Amino acid sequence: MARYVSEAVIRRLPGYYRHLRELEAAGVVSISSRDLGEQMHQTPSQIRQDINCFGGFGRQGYGYNVSELKERIGEILGLDQPHRMIILGAGSIGSAIVRYPTFPMEGFRTLAVFDSAPEKIGTELAGVPVYSVDALEDFLRRETVDIAVLCVPRDAAQATLDRLVAAGITAVWNFAPVDLVYPPDEVVVVNVHLSDTLQVLSYKMAHRGEA
């Protein structure tokens, strides 16, 4: 255990978490890597390797306790800690994030939304106040914020990120379709390039049945 955890493993963890939660809800108490692999279309070997990056919580001859493994993966993902978020941009993507139903119960709480359009400032979005971006630095000085969600238009994204980093934000979830430039040791950025995934779909449609 405690070996180096590759990006590939990290990206599979949420899938395990989701599947285990469903098994738990279905009343399944224990599961073997063989059965879990079958259900998730992975090899049992891969599942055991992945889980053992973090230490063995399986039992020989028995498998894994579903609730315990789910709980542990949740901890590894940091879901046992609450996260305080702000959203930059009160457009349609920003609205969708504020309203995303499962975030509150996963510990992700949105404190405020920031926008530059005067008609939006002072309103609320699903109960969350919309402030002027001018008040951003002030707000960050007063409140503890863990994650900034970037939902501003493409052309505003880099400048907004620069402000966030200067104000001490260390984690950004970016929805703007740009490759942002930032100091990697000061801030973690995870991109959701929606257009990219749609283009991957387009590729697969165009090249169906080639492989």
Partner DNA sequence: TAGATTGTTAATCGATTAACAATC
Residues lying near DNA in the complex (CB under 7 A) are found at 1, 6-9, 32-34, 42-46, 48-49, 51-52, 56-64
Instruction: Report the residue from 25, 60, 81, 144 that binds a copy of itself according to the rule CB under 8 A.
Output: 81
Binding to a copy of itself by residue 139, rule CB under 8 A? no
The DSSP 8-state label assigned to residue 106 in this structure reads: G
| Contacts of a copy of itself in 96-115 (CB under 8 A) | 96-97, 99-103, 106, 108
Residue spans of beta strands (DSSP E) within the chain = 30-31, 58-59, 63-65, 83-88, 108-115, 124-125, 128-132, 147-150, 171-174, 188-191
Q: In 174-211, which positions are buried (b, 16+ CB within 10 angstroms) versus exposed (e)?
A: bbbebebebeeeebebebbeeeeeeeeeeeeeeeeeee
Instruction: Report the residue from 48, 109, 163, 193 that binds a copy of itself according to the rule CB under 8 A.
Output: 193
Closer of 55 and 129 to DNA (Cβ): 55
Considering only the stretches 57-65, 129-137, 160-168, 200-208, report the one whose residues sit in contact with a copy of itself under the rule CB under 8 A.
200-208
Binding to a copy of itself by residue 60, rule CB under 8 A? no
Instruction: Report the residue from 5, 29, 135, 166 that binds a copy of itself according to the rule CB under 8 A.
Output: 5
Nearest residue to 125 via CA among 104, 99, 145: 99
Encoded amino acid at 13, one letter: L
Considering only the stretches 23-31, 61-69, 136-144, 192-200, report the one whose residues sit in contact with a copy of itself under the rule CB under 8 A.
192-200
Q: Give how many residues touch a copy of itself by CB under 8 A.
A: 60
Q: Are 36 and 47 in contact, with CB atoms under 8 Å apart? A: yes
- Which structure tokens are listed for 116? 């530059």
Residue with tokens 């590894």: 76
Helix (H) or strand (E) holding 160: helix 154-166
Q: Which residues bind a copy of itself (CB under 8 A)?
A: 4-5, 10-11, 13-15, 17-19, 40, 76-79, 81, 83, 91-93, 95-97, 99-103, 106, 108, 146-147, 153, 170-171, 173, 177-179, 188, 190, 192-208, 210-211
